[in-house]
Amino acid sequence: MLKKDKVKFIVEQLDKFYPRVHPPLNHSNNYTLLIAVLLSANSTDKSVNKVTPNLFKKAHSSDQMMQLSYEELYSIIKPCGLGPAKAKNILNWSPKAKNILALSSILVNEFQGEVPDSFPALEKLPGVGHKTASVVMSQAFGYPAFAVDTHVHRLMYRWGLSSGKSVVQTERDGKRLFPKDKWNKLHLQIIFYGREYCPARNFNPNLCPITSVVGRRTLFK
């Protein structure tokens, strides 16, 4: 099957499975979205959604976050995993960066407390990589972005749409193959589909509605 035919089939199937999608991380504004996405690294959305109600009740803006002590923040986000590192990124206690202000400090001092709407500005914030910036740009500002997480990376490889060598290559291939106006929705659809039908472990390609049709041949040996 040609890639263009695969893409058409995948888009059609995902629209059938998930005609309407909503961001899985609970948030109330752009700042809480940014923090929730940052916390989701090496964690699950379920774990993040358990801790953020308490966290955002105490601090739902950058200036409020700066008022929390390190110990208080760490005690709240600890269930997400990698608590100390994440707490340092949020509160500017990173030992690595002399010239980089902490995420909340930067927002207050340089952006009037608002989350910037550009990739360069977001990716300069402590703890914010390209994937996190892509999620924020797409979900907060509606900017077309093809964010690649572990699910998107895995499925793009299984479906024979990318080599699987790197998330950078997967993003390039996704942007090249899929229509730009579908990127934001596709990101969420692929995540939901991967969790439900195409998991990383105990996977049978013959039982996956999409992979059974478009999956790379090596999966069926």
The mean pLDDT values, 10 residues at a time, for the chain of 221 residues are: 95 98 96 91 88 93 85 79 59 33 83 96 91 96 96 97 94 97 97 95 95 94 76
What local confidence, expressed as pLDDT, does residue 99 receive? 25
| pLDDT for 216 | 94
Nearest Cα neighbor of 64 from 31, 27, 30 is: 31
Query: Is 6 marked active-site?
Result: no
Q: What is the pLDDT of residue 85?
A: 59
Q: Maximum distance among all alpha carbons in the chain?
A: 57
HSE-CB of 138 using CA atoms within 13 angstroms: 23
Q: What is the pTM of this model?
A: 0.87
Catalytic-labelled residue, pool 6, 149, 173, 185:
149
Q: What is the pLDDT of residue 89?
A: 62
All structural domains of the chain with their residue ranges? 3-21+146-220, 30-141
Domain 30-141 is found in CATH 1.10.340.30? yes
CA distance 70 to 104: 13
Q: What is the pLDDT of residue 163?
A: 93
Cα–Cα–Cα angle for 83, 85, 87, nearest 5°? 65
- Which pair of tokens denotes residue 209? 């509605």
Q: What confidence score (pLDDT) does residue 67 get?
A: 84
Catalytic residue among 86, 131, 173, 185: 131
Residue 9: the pLDDT is 98
- Please state whether 143 falls in left (phi above 0), alpha (psi between -120 and 50) or beta: beta
What per-residue confidence (pLDDT) applies to 82? 57
111-132 burial code (b ≥16 CB/10 A, e <16):
eeeebbeebebbebbbbbebbb
Q: How far apart are CA 139 and CA 25, in angstroms?
A: 11
The reply to whether 131 belongs to the active site is yes
Tell me what pLDDT residue 81 has: 67
Check whether domain 3-21+146-220 has CATH 1.10.10.410, yes or no: no
